[in-house]
Amino acid sequence: MHPLELFDRFRRWFGWVAPGRQLWERKPEQVAPDRSDDWLLDPPSLDEARLLFPQLDEERALLRYQQLRLEMRERDGRGF
């Protein structure tokens, strides 16, 4: 098990005891970066897609890269 997973379990089990509990329960708008620093808003790069997915052809790599970025935005609660 990854150390961050252990930390997350500990935080969830014993988080109610911690005095700074509100630090853990923030809304996505509070933790989202400024629009100027949000790399997920940049147009997808074919070079990055090729580096991340070298086993795929260019078109499929770019599609998979876009899908990955959308999944990251949705997981972080930033929407599409």
pTM equals 0.52
Per-residue pLDDT at 55: 94
pLDDT digits (tens, 9 = 90+) for 61-72: 999 998 888 888
33 falls within a domain? yes
The confidence band for 2, taking pLDDT boundaries of 50, 70 and 90, is confident
Per-residue pLDDT at 74: 79
Domain count, the chain: 1
| Alpha-carbon distance values, 7 to 1, 2, 19 (Å) | 10, 9, 17
The confidence band for 6, taking pLDDT boundaries of 50, 70 and 90, is confident
| Alpha-carbon distance values, 61 to 2, 38, 46, 55 (Å) | 28, 22, 8, 8
80 falls within a domain? no
CB 40, CB 49: distance < 8 Å: no
Domain that holds residue 23: 3-75
